[in-house]
Amino acid sequence: MSTPRLYLDQPLEEGREIPATPGQAHHLGGVLRRGPGDAVLVFNGRDGEWAASIATLRKDRCTLLPERPIRPQEPPPDTRLLVAAVKRDAMDWMAEKATELGIGSIRPVVTRRSITDRVNQARLAAIAQEAAEQCGRLTVPAVAPAMPLHAVLDGWDGTPLLAGDERRESPPLAQVAQGLRAPWAWLVGPEGGFERAELDDLRRRAFVSTVSLGPRILRAETAAVAGLAVLQALAGDWNGR
């Protein structure tokens, strides 16, 4: 039976009891059938991972007792996913998979062909947290509120931004990613792709490189995850960098 792993937005100190959320309490007691004294693992994105135990548990109330650190904190990755807002199920799936792939932050953007301009930021953050708990990482990606693409670009900090070009008029992503190192960001457009004016705007910006993901037409969520996998393999932490 695996040890439950929980994210807590609290300082972790030996012997200092920490309250779990009502949802975490229900999951531990009602779903996993754990009780006081049972082992858990906890992390907060700042203090590494700790071995802990359940101190008290009653319905939706629970406290956890950190006992000792077992893994030191690693710096948060400065790798970013920018993705045009799409339907909820696809957004949820992308948030989960981007977290599993080790991405540092997720920002939905609104483009001219976006099918929605509403994104449930709290829902995506909760999905990212659950994915971080399950995949073993020590940080939870920050989920930013949705913003128009042009506003995000106008306020950009100069980090290299690779943008998917569904028209395949750009060099392959794998070619451009060679020699790249974090920080970097990956931008994926909506179903139907960027409008020509949006692509032209991207190409005018010195920090943007437009890239191709091959000969086939991909769904937005497929392009997001495929691009992140290539970038993590060539310019991320899959090779120890």
Could you tell me how many residues make up the chain? 241
225 closest CA partner among 89, 99, 85, 77? 99
> CA–CA separation, 161 vs 195, rounded Å?
18
3-state secondary structure string across 45-79: CCCCEEEEEEEEEECCEEEEEEEEEEECCCCCCCE
Give the pLDDT confidence score for residue 41 in this predicted structure: 98
Percentage of residues in the chain with pLDDT exceeding 70?
A: 99
As assigned by CATH, the class of the 5-71 domain is: mainly beta
Global pTM reads: 0.92
Per residue in 156-179, pLDDT tens?
Answer: 999 999 999 987 789 999 999 998
- Tokens 């139907």: give the residue: 192
45 closest CA partner among 120, 148, 141? 141
Return the domain boundaries, the chain.
Answer: 5-71, 79-239
Give the pLDDT confidence score for residue 240 in this predicted structure: 66
Q: Quick one: tokens of 22?
A: 């009502």
Per residue in 106-158, pLDDT tens?
Answer: 999 999 988 887 899 999 999 999 999 999 999 999 999 999 999 999 999 99
Where are any strands of DSSP class E within the chain?
A: 5-7, 18-19, 39-43, 49-58, 61-71, 79-84, 105-110, 142-143, 147-148, 161-164, 184-188, 208-211
- Whether 241 shows a pLDDT value over 60: the answer reads no
Q: Taking the domain 79-239, which CATH number applies?
A: 3.40.1280.10
